């Protein structure tokens, strides 16, 4: 009788361990699928009017984007700033220490989280034209374009731009 009790106890403990391992595997698999779906955002995108190329990348669980190329990377000859022919810089940044940073390489998108259904939320977008940060939502549309909506407070009060996928500017 003692022998049968210890086999029964051993069987129950083994079953518990297997069940816990299976639950752990399911959590890891679910997280992996979410990352794979969220990674559809990764790559190179033309901003509206093809003024810039943005590379969207993942860092940890967040999605970020930096400007990697500009249609017109230099200030025009007719500029009144004395910067004619020079590389464009972040001169509208409210932080004077950052106003000499080049636009190419600038982090435009920060901290997006994939929430499913081809949507990324809780991120920020920086507008180098006015030096302001905005809350932002991104949606990958069925035609393969990105709907990028920057707003203050409520998404209802904002502006949407459409970005198109492209290849790396080096290719």
Distance CA 51, CA 89 (A): 15
Query: pLDDT for 73-100, tens place per residue?
Result: 998 887 677 888 899 999 999 999 999 9
Helix/strand/coil for 121: strand
Query: pLDDT for 17-68, tens place per residue?
Result: 665 554 544 444 444 444 588 999 999 999 998 999 999 999 999 999 999 9
Task: Give φ, ψ of 129 to 5 degrees.
Answer: -70, -30
Looking at residue 33, its pLDDT comes to: 44
Number of neighbouring beta carbons within 10 Å of residue 109:
25
Query: pLDDT for 87-136, tens place per residue?
Result: 999 999 999 999 999 999 999 999 999 999 999 999 999 999 999 999 99
Query: pLDDT for 140-150, tens place per residue?
Result: 999 999 999 99
pTM surpassing 0.85?
no
Query: pLDDT for 62-78, tens place per residue?
Result: 999 999 999 999 988 87
Number of neighbouring beta carbons within 10 Å of residue 60:
7
Asked if the model's pLDDT at residue 159 lies above 90, the reply is yes
Distance CA 99, CA 76 (A): 18
């Amino acid at each position: 009788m003692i022998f049968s009790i210890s086999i029964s106890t051993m069987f129950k403990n083994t079953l518990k361990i297997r069940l816990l391992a299976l639950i752990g595997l399911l959590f890891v698999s679910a997280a992996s699928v979410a990352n794979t779906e969220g990674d559809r955002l990764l790559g190179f995108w033309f901003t509206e009017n093809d003024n810039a190329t943005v590379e969207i990348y993942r860092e940890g669980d967040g999605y970020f984007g930096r400007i990697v190329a500009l249609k017109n990377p230099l200030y025009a000859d007719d500029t009144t700033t004395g910067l004619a022919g020079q590389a464009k810089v972040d001169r509208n940044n409210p932080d004077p220490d950052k106003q000499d940073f080049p636009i190419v390489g600038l982090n435009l998108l920060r901290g997006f989280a994939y929430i499913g259904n081809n949507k990324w939320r809780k991120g920020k977008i920086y507008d180098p034209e006015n030096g302001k940060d905005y809350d932002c939502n991104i949606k990958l549309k069925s035609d393969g374009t990105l709907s990028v909506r920057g707003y203050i407070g409520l998404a209802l009060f904002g502006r949407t731009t459409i970005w198109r996928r492209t290849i790396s500017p080096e290719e």
